[in-house]
Structure 1
Amino acid sequence: MGRDVHADDEQLARRAIGLLDLMALNAQDTEQRIIGMCQRALTPLGAVAAVCVYPRFVLLARTTLDRLRTPDIRVVAAVNFPYGSANIESAASETRAAVMAGADEIDVVYPFRTQLCGDQQTGMDLVAACREASGPNTRLTVTLETGDLRDPQIILDASRSAILSGADFIKTSTGKAVVSATPQAARIMLESIAEVGGQVGVKFAGGIRTFEDAKVFLSMAQARFGPHWVTADRVRLGASSLLDDLLIHLGVLAPGPYGNSY
């Protein structure tokens, strides 16, 4: 008897909801938008993994989620975002402030331009400084902006540097670059994670808008490490617009411009 592909897809789509990091990372974001995102984070099919905001919105996001009685949804603070400055003290200072405001996780953009110039040490020092500033109980994501790094060897070097310097997750993209997440970059990052026995997680972000997009990356993670590895502790999907597509795919939302009012 053959496998039920539809049932497999439905199971994967449901799982994907619990792997989502919803993001509000636009300059024009308002308090109302942050509150609205936190409300969307608790879906009819369960909660997403996290919401990701600028440090100035961390306290609001945490307070809103607690009022909604969803303490397990994590608040991620994006620091050194989106340009990946090489200013180590600035990134560390942002990290400390975000943790004090209640961030559960820090997402720091790797200084990818210095890496492109052949300077690997600055990136390692910046990640290490943010690792120290975040403390032992706050998980650290390092966003590599792989679309700008481009070269497979440079992506591999940056992935290894981030892991060596204390990353808990490595992430494909800020979503602000011209080229975002690609299967090639994801494959290289997964390989670097395999080098440390799968003890570091991966976040796929940038241009992932549909279930079919997400399925490509989730299938790669499952193929490399097995389905039991694909949990919110090891895999995330940084993609706000993906949520509606997943809910439409699962029959919770109707397609169309008014479909997102569940």
Structure 2
Amino acid sequence: MLPLMLLLVSGAGVAASRLPMLLQPPADDHHTNARVFFQVGSKEEDLPECGPWAVCSKVDLYDSPWVEKQCRCPSSSCSSSLDASDGHTVTDKTRLFKLCEPTKKLPKCRFFRDYTWTLRTSPDNITEQVMHCHCPKSSVAYLVKRQTYQTPQGLGYQYSFACSPQSRLRCQRKEPCRLFTVRKRPEVDEVNLNSLCQCPHGHHCPRHHREAGVIAGKSYTEEAIRTYSGYCVPS
């Protein structure tokens, strides 16, 4: 369960066995220099229509930027911009969630109480992420609820996320400051990182799983996942 939980904490992924394992070939996109993939098909017309406040594109900035288009906006185009201040973006760690609607209309979440987003997966590997409010500054999203629901095609899953303040605890000696979960997809690595504590003065926590101070952890071959632990290193 550890790799699954680490993936889910970001809201960017769901159980690896339920995510499409094959990204579609890149498409040309004049809005961004990032590689562009489609959750379904190979062009906008193949995507399902977005519901209200659904994430239409997910932009990953962890390494070389890439975009995965989730659905098509009913009356406008979905932004693929790497700009987080375009008025249609919710930021979560190293990912930008793009919406059809302007984000200024999203209310602010209350810590531990409101669901910031829900993530629903269906048996046909279609994922829908719906925003309900945005987390306050200096906070993180975390998984609070997992539910199953029945569809004509079989069992689906819904994951709900809330907001909490970032940890201000100081890292103890030999305690990891950050965890990385790396899932290999055919064209890209999908990486989620979770900060656990703050490094002492004069030290910093690695921001990439290939940096110094990072130790490889468990490997889960069936899910194409490997975990890494980052430790405080001198600045």
TM-score class, shorter: under 0.3
Structure with more strand by fraction: 2
